[in-house]
Structure 1
Amino acid sequence: MRTECGTSCDCELSCGNRVSQKGLNVELKIVRVENKGWGLFAAQLIPEGKFVCEYA
Protein backbone atom coordinates (compact mmCIF):
# COMPACT_ATOMS: atom_id res chain seq x y z
CA MET A 1 0.00 0.00 0.00
CA ARG A 2 1.30 3.42 -0.95
CA THR A 3 1.53 6.18 1.66
CA GLU A 4 0.67 9.76 0.77
CA CYS A 5 3.39 12.32 1.64
CA GLY A 6 2.30 15.29 3.70
CA THR A 7 3.53 18.60 5.05
CA SER A 8 5.92 16.90 7.49
CA CYS A 9 7.70 15.11 4.62
CA ASP A 10 10.93 16.61 3.21
CA CYS A 11 10.13 15.58 -0.38
CA GLU A 12 9.39 18.00 -3.23
CA LEU A 13 5.82 18.88 -4.29
CA SER A 14 6.43 16.84 -7.46
CA CYS A 15 6.91 13.65 -5.38
CA GLY A 16 5.05 10.62 -6.76
CA ASN A 17 3.51 10.00 -3.34
CA ARG A 18 1.46 13.21 -3.47
CA VAL A 19 -1.14 12.11 -6.04
CA SER A 20 -4.30 13.11 -4.13
CA GLN A 21 -2.87 16.56 -3.35
CA LYS A 22 -2.58 17.45 -7.04
CA GLY A 23 -6.36 17.48 -7.58
CA LEU A 24 -8.34 15.91 -10.40
CA ASN A 25 -6.51 15.10 -13.61
CA VAL A 26 -9.16 12.77 -15.06
CA GLU A 27 -12.38 14.14 -16.53
CA LEU A 28 -15.37 12.76 -14.61
CA LYS A 29 -19.13 13.11 -14.95
CA ILE A 30 -21.72 12.89 -12.19
CA VAL A 31 -24.92 11.56 -13.75
CA ARG A 32 -28.34 10.65 -12.38
CA VAL A 33 -29.01 7.01 -13.26
CA GLU A 34 -32.62 5.86 -13.54
CA ASN A 35 -33.65 3.61 -10.62
CA LYS A 36 -30.11 3.78 -9.13
CA GLY A 37 -29.41 7.33 -7.96
CA TRP A 38 -26.25 9.24 -8.78
CA GLY A 39 -23.27 7.65 -10.52
CA LEU A 40 -19.71 8.70 -11.25
CA PHE A 41 -18.53 8.01 -14.78
CA ALA A 42 -15.23 8.56 -16.58
CA ALA A 43 -15.46 10.93 -19.54
CA GLN A 44 -12.19 9.53 -20.93
CA LEU A 45 -10.21 6.31 -21.05
CA ILE A 46 -8.35 5.79 -17.75
CA PRO A 47 -5.10 3.78 -17.90
CA GLU A 48 -4.81 0.90 -15.46
CA GLY A 49 -3.31 1.97 -12.12
CA LYS A 50 -3.91 5.71 -12.64
CA PHE A 51 -5.11 7.66 -9.60
CA VAL A 52 -8.61 9.02 -10.27
CA CYS A 53 -9.81 10.85 -7.15
CA GLU A 54 -10.22 10.59 -3.41
CA TYR A 55 -13.69 9.50 -2.33
CA ALA A 56 -14.81 11.01 0.94
Structure 2
Amino acid sequence: MLRACLFFEARAYRHGGGFGRFERQDFVLALVARIRALSGGHVPVRGTVA
Protein backbone atom coordinates (compact mmCIF):
# COMPACT_ATOMS: atom_id res chain seq x y z
CA MET A 1 0.00 0.00 0.00
CA LEU A 2 2.90 2.35 0.76
CA ARG A 3 4.51 1.67 -2.60
CA ALA A 4 1.22 2.40 -4.36
CA CYS A 5 0.93 5.65 -2.43
CA LEU A 6 4.47 6.60 -3.49
CA PHE A 7 3.64 5.74 -7.12
CA PHE A 8 0.55 7.95 -7.14
CA GLU A 9 2.42 10.76 -5.41
CA ALA A 10 5.08 10.59 -8.15
CA ARG A 11 2.40 10.55 -10.83
CA ALA A 12 0.62 13.56 -9.34
CA TYR A 13 3.95 15.39 -9.12
CA ARG A 14 4.75 14.63 -12.77
CA HIS A 15 1.35 15.66 -14.10
CA GLY A 16 1.16 18.67 -11.80
CA GLY A 17 4.09 20.42 -13.42
CA GLY A 18 6.99 18.90 -11.47
CA PHE A 19 8.09 21.98 -9.57
CA GLY A 20 10.81 21.58 -6.96
CA ARG A 21 12.68 18.42 -6.02
CA PHE A 22 10.37 15.41 -5.72
CA GLU A 23 12.81 13.35 -3.64
CA ARG A 24 13.07 16.12 -1.03
CA GLN A 25 9.38 16.57 -0.27
CA ASP A 26 8.51 15.73 3.34
CA PHE A 27 5.70 13.30 2.46
CA VAL A 28 7.88 11.44 -0.05
CA LEU A 29 10.75 11.20 2.45
CA ALA A 30 8.37 9.82 5.08
CA LEU A 31 6.97 7.23 2.66
CA VAL A 32 10.43 6.07 1.59
CA ALA A 33 11.62 5.87 5.21
CA ARG A 34 8.60 3.76 6.20
CA ILE A 35 9.00 1.45 3.20
CA ARG A 36 12.67 0.94 4.09
CA ALA A 37 11.80 0.29 7.75
CA LEU A 38 9.17 -2.32 6.88
CA SER A 39 11.23 -4.04 4.21
CA GLY A 40 14.51 -4.13 6.10
CA GLY A 41 16.05 -1.78 3.54
CA HIS A 42 15.52 -4.10 0.58
CA VAL A 43 12.51 -4.46 -1.68
CA PRO A 44 12.80 -7.42 -4.09
CA VAL A 45 11.96 -6.96 -7.74
CA ARG A 46 8.43 -8.08 -8.43
CA GLY A 47 8.20 -11.63 -9.73
CA THR A 48 11.49 -12.81 -8.26
CA VAL A 49 11.89 -15.60 -5.76
CA ALA A 50 14.18 -15.10 -2.78
**TM-score normalized with structure 2 length:** 0.25
User: Which structure carries more helix by proportion?
Assistant: 2
| Larger-gyration structure (1/2) | 1
Which of structures 1 and 2 has the larger relative contact order (alpha carbons within 8 angstroms, sep 6+)?
A: 2
